[in-house]
């Protein structure tokens, strides 16, 4: 890894409310990189509620929920999360990774138990690594359809129409490295026509997109994964689905059964984030982020650079090779901006990019200054 220049490290960077991340030496970078889209991780309401729940329920949860129960706050929070996603029930996990890696094998076991046949999994090519991990844990090779190509999925579903077993379709509402959206109404229609079970990972939509930040899959998916780790400013995740599916996850999901429940302090902060989502303050923040994203895309495209299919707060600037992306990120950092280079295996070779993320705490001036810095990078020939 060292020889290939792929050895990665993580350094000390402390968040500050003014969009800066402060390095160990006291210098700061403007955060165009984290997934704290709404800037909630430092919000006083979340911090206070975390302290309150810590005082009431403890810092830790004691054990797995099937061993020593669940604090009442978490039970109520699950009902609120189901309400957010418009489902019967929800089930909390310690991370989005854990939820995804757990739900796929659990659904596969459901297929075996109820239908007496292995599940058949159809996956958008660009789904998150944790969903692929889930497929591997289930021992099932997913049938991959071309990214956001609903017709290709329909062809595959047709081809396997006579194969017994639960047909599971895995996708995301917003893709993490391209910032584009799935056509969920079309996917839902195709799944309905082929009796397939649609699972949508809403990690990058929950809190930031849709009415009151409820995401984009409302009423369209059979199962939704939401994370607390991005727009909600915390950590952890939840699966929202029907009562029987959530019950099955609680009884068959290894990541639920064999792992200590999330910290009540974190869940308290999530509870506060849910209070904020429908407020005019956050509605305004979401509109602001969308406007900044459109501004950045227009400016970057105006420079002749490729922002891919992005239509959200995630704006990739696709530069090609690894060295180009690394040099561009370094030059941007020298100009005071954290815009991280994304390289294989996260994106395909040749698709290396700066993944630029817009936040509620950014000003238009910061975005335009970032654009100026990028223009200098282009002028210096780094992205040529
Ligand atoms: N799904 C998607 C689409 C993600 O981008 C991520 C995190 N990058 C996850 C799931 C995992 O979520 P978490 O960070 O909460 O484990």
Q: What is the ipTM of this complex?
A: 0.99
* Claim to verify: residue 33 and residue 128 sit in the same structural domain: no
**Does residue 306 lie within any of the structural domains?**
yes
Tokens 């530069």 belong to which residue? 319
| Ordered per-residue pLDDT tens for the chain, 384 residues | 666 666 778 888 999 887 788 888 889 999 999 999 999 999 999 999 999 999 999 999 999 999 999 999 999 999 999 999 999 999 999 999 999 999 999 999 999 999 999 999 999 999 999 999 999 999 999 999 999 999 999 999 999 999 999 999 999 999 999 999 999 999 999 999 999 999 999 999 999 999 999 999 999 999 999 999 999 999 999 999 999 999 999 999 999 999 999 999 999 999 999 999 999 999 999 999 999 999 999 999 999 999 999 999 999 999 999 999 999 999 999 999 999 899 998 898 999 999 999 999 999 999 999 999 999 988 887 775
Q: Of all atoms in ligand 1, which is nearest to the CA of residue 235?
A: 15
Contact 55, 64 (CB under 8 A): no
Tell me the CA–centroid distance for residue 303 and ligand 1, in Å. 31
Residue 2 resides in a domain: no
* Whether residues 100 and 238 fall in one domain: yes
Q: Is 176 in the pocket of ligand 1 (CB under 6 A)?
A: yes
- CB of 277 within 8 A of CB of 212? yes
**Closest alpha carbon to 348 in 371, 320, 327, 368:** 320
Domain-embedded: residue 7: no
Residue that terminates a domain, selected from 249, 276, 303: 276
Residues 153 and 271 in one domain: yes
Q: How far is the CA of 236 from the centre of ligand 1 (A)?
A: 9
Do residue 243 and residue 285 come from a single domain?
Answer: no
Domain hosting 154: range is 44-276
CA angle, residues 32, 35, 40, in degrees to nearest 5: 100
- Is 263 within a domain? yes
Same structural domain, 234 and 293: no
The answer to whether residues 134 and 219 belong to one domain is yes
35, 111, 241, 252: which is the annotated catalytic residue?
35
Q: Ligand 1 pocket, 202 CB below 6 A? A: no
At 373 the pLDDT is 96
Q: Are residues 249 and 168 in the same domain?
A: yes
- Tell me, yes or no, whether 149 lies in a domain: yes
List the catalytic residue out of 36, 85, 111, 128. Answer: 128
User: Is 5 domain-assigned?
Assistant: no
Q: How far apart are CA 27 and CA 77, in angstroms?
A: 39
The residue count for the chain: 384
Q: Which residues are paired to 318 by β-bridges?
A: 306, 353
Residue 172 annotated as catalytic: yes
183: Cβ contacts below 8 Å, ≥ 6 apart: 148, 150
User: Which of 276, 301, 317 lies at the terminal end of a domain, its last residue?
Assistant: 276
SS (H, E, C) 240-280: EECHHHHHHHHHHCHHHHCCCCCCHHHHHHHHHHHHHCCCH
Give the helix/strand (H/E) hosting 172: strand 167-172
CA 169–ligand 1 middle distance (angstroms): 18
Q: Whose CA is nearest to atom 8 of ligand 1?
A: 176
Distance CA 190, CA 9 (A): 43
- Calculate the alpha carbon distances from 215 to 80, 202, 240 in Å: 14, 7, 12
pLDDT in tens, 143-168: 999 999 999 999 999 999 999 999 99
Q: 314 CB less than 6 Å from ligand 1?
A: no
Judge if 191 and 135 occupy the same domain.
yes
First to last CA, the chain: 26
Q: Whose CA is closest to 358, among 305, 297, 273? A: 297
What spacing in Å lies between the alpha carbon of 265 and ligand 1's midpoint? 20
Picking from 251, 276, 301, the residue at the C-terminal end of a domain is: 276
Would you state the pLDDT for residue 380?
Answer: 84
Do 358 and 215 fall into the same domain? no
Q: Does residue 106 line the site of ligand 1, with CB under 6 A? A: no
Asked if 125 contacts 94 with a C-beta cutoff of 8 angstroms, the reply is no
Give the CATH number of the domain where residue 234 resides: 3.40.640.10
Phi–psi pair at 127, nearest 5 degrees: -65, 160
Structurally, the chain folds into a number of domains equal to 2
Q: At 63, phi and psi to the nearest 5?
A: -175, -175
Compute the distance from residue 197 Cα to the ligand 1 centre, in Å: 21
What CATH number is attached to the domain comprising 297? 3.90.1150.10
Strands of the 352-357 sheet, one edge to the other: 314-320, 352-357, 340-342
Are residues 143 and 251 located together in one domain of the fold? yes
CB of 227 closer than 6 A to ligand 1? yes
For the CA of 127, the nearest atom of ligand 1: 3
Are residues 33 and 161 both part of a single domain? Answer: no
Q: Over the stretch 209-220, which tens digit does the pLDDT of each residue have? A: 999 999 999 999
* 4 lies in some domain: no
- Which atom number of ligand 1 is nearest to the Cα of residue 97? 16
CB within 8 Å of 36: residues ≥ 6 apart: 15, 230, 231, 233, 359
Residue 98, C-beta contacts closer than 8 angstroms, at least 6 positions apart: 130, 237, 255, 259
Q: What are phi and psi of 135, to 5 degrees?
A: -65, -45
- What does the alpha-carbon distance between residue 377 and residue 358 come to, in Å, rounded to a whole number? 20
Q: Report yes or no on 353 lying in a domain.
A: yes
Closest ligand 1 atom to Cα of 176: 5
Rg (CA), the chain: 21
Q: Are residues 120 and 216 in the same domain?
A: yes
């Amino acid at each position: 890894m060292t020889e290939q220049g792929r050895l990665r490290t993580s350094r000390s960077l402390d968040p500050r409310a003014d969009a800066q991340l402060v390095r160990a030496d006291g210098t700061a970078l403007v955060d165009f990189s984290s997934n704290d889209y709404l800037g909630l991780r430092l919000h006083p309401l979340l911090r206070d509620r975390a302290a309150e729940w810590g005082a009431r329920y403890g810092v830790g949860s004691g054990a797995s929920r099937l061993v020593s129960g669940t604090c009442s706050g978490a039970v109520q929070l699950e009902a609120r999360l189901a309400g957010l996603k418009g489902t019967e029930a929800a089930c909390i996990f310690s991370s989005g990774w854990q939820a995804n890696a757990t739900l796929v094998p659990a659904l596969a076991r459901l297929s075996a138990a109820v239908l007496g046949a292995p599940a058949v999994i159809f996956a958008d090519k660009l789904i998150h690594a944790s969903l692929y991990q889930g497929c591997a844990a289930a021992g099932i090779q997913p049938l991959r359809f071309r990214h956001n190509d609903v017709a290709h999925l329909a062809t595959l579903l047709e081809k396997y129409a006579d194969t017994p077993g639960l047909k599971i379709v895995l996708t995301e509402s917003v893709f993490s490295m391209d910032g584009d959206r799935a056509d969920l109404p079309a996917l839902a229609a195709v799944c309905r026509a082929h009796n397939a079970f649609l699972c949508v990972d809403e990690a990058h939509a929950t809190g930031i997109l849709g009415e009151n930040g409820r995401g984009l899959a409302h009423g369209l998916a059979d199962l939704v994964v939401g994370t607390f780790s991005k727009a909600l400013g915390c950590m952890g995740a939840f699966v929202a689905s029907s009562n029987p599916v959530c019950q099955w996850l609680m009884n068959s999901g290894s990541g639920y059964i064999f792992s200590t429940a999330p910290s009540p302090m974190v869940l308290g902060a999530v509870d506060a984030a849910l209070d904020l989502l429908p407020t005019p303050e956050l509605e305004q923040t979401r509109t602001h982020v969308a406007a900044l994203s459109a501004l950045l895309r227009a400016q970057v495209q105006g420079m002749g650079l490729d922002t891919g299919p992005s239509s959200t707060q995630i704006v990739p600037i696709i530069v090609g090779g690894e060295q180009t992306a690394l040099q561009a990120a370094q030059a941007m950092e020298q100009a005071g901006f954290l815009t991280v280079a994304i390289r294989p295996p996260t994106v395909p070779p040749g698709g290396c990019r700066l993944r630029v993320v817009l936040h509620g705490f950014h000003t238009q001036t910061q975005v335009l200054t970032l654009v100026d810095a990028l223009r200098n990078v282009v002028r210096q020939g780094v992205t040529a």
